[in-house]
Amino acid sequence: MATAVGSSRNLNVGMQQLKVAVVGATGMVGRTMMQILQERNFPIAELIPAASSRSAGKTLEFGGEQVTIVSIDEALLRKPDIALFSAGGDVSKEWAPKFADAGTVVIDNSSAWRMEADCPLVVPEVNFGAITKAHRIIANPNCSTIQLVMALKPLHDAYGVKRVVVSTYQSITGTGAAAVAQLEAERKGETPQMVYPYPIDRNCLPHCDVFMDNDYTKEEMKLTNETKKILGDERVQVVATAVRVPVVGGHSESVNVSFERDFEIGDVRKLLNDFPGIQIQDSTETNTYPMPLYAGGKDDVFVGRIRRDFTQANTLNLWVVADNLRKGAATNAVQIAERLVDR
């Protein structure tokens, strides 16, 4: 490839135009998918935005034109080449196989298919090779997992990751538009429609997704299980605490990682700097480090606060930030589609 995965593309030149469906087009991720398809000039002959029956018949703007939202069954009848799903696990479980049976390649952003043994779970820069031509459903990883494995992959290849302790500071946009509305109402002093069990303004909730039988949340266990699958190494141990914070624009992660082999900080910086889709922002002299305020609207994963853990052998501390709606969801899905077109 002449162009890196993380860069802007011009795929229309000399390429077949495709029918592309976006299922869940009215949600925050669905709208971002449409925005990124347009930004990256994906080769689209026909865009098919699909949503629930409540939204069918309404319009959305795409490419300077108004496109009509259709029902999911209507989108299926139009036989898209690619369908980007972001409509929740129940919808994906019901409809993704139907689209796949009709010959559509489905890239699904829900958790429905991620841990299925015969379904590839893909971050293009990390493990695109997990996709074969036989795969018709491809899973997009969890937002917090994507940015974590982006930072881990080059270091795992060089030093062998043994154990990761990660604490996340996750944007309310990961919950959806209703969570943003709760925050905005609280800041105005209004009575909000509660999405979270407590106020989110001026607060942090150590509670992302539902609690499971082991007292970890589903979000925390996604980080454990998805990281192993994407890196292709069951020996990698990951333990997480996932926290929702009153931020709009990106997820942040404090990452402590122990390796099989020792490292030099200069080599770590070079490995990360050379990895596609990563930007290092790390200078104590200029107070330079990643922040969600500045990661919002960008497609890269930003890494900073790179320093040796002086309490443990072969152990490193990192601070990792990314826009959870873009690289953490929509951009990653579109990048998968781009790589499939290239192939």
Catalytic residue annotation: 143, 251
CB 156 within 8 A of CB 260: no
Q: How many Cβ atoms from other residues are within 10 Å of residue 53's Cβ?
A: 9
Paired with 19 in beta bridges are 46
Cα separation, 121 vs 141, in Å, equals 6
Amino acid, single-letter form, for residue 233: D
CA 232 → CA 54, 119, 166, 228, distances in Å? Answer: 41, 13, 19, 6
Cα separation, 91 vs 245, in Å, equals 28
Q: How many Cβ atoms from other residues are within 10 Å of residue 339's Cβ?
A: 16
3-class SS string, the chain: CCCCCCCCCCCCCCCCCEEEEEECCCCHHHHHHHHHHHHCCCCEEEEEEECCCCCCCCEEEECCEEEECECHHHHHHCCCCEEEECCCHHHHHHHHHHHHHCCCEEEECCCCCCCCCCCCECCHHHHHHHCCCCCCEEECCCHHHHHHHHHHHHHHHHHCEEEEEEEEEECHHHCCHHHHHHHHHHHCCCCCCCCCCCCCCCCCECCCCCECCCCCEHHHHHHHHHHHHHHCCCCCEEEEEEEECCCCCCEEEEEEEEECCCCCHHHHHHHHHHCCCEEECCECCCCECCCHHHHCCCCCEEEEEEEECCCCCCEEEEEEEECCCHHHHHHHHHHHHHHHHHC
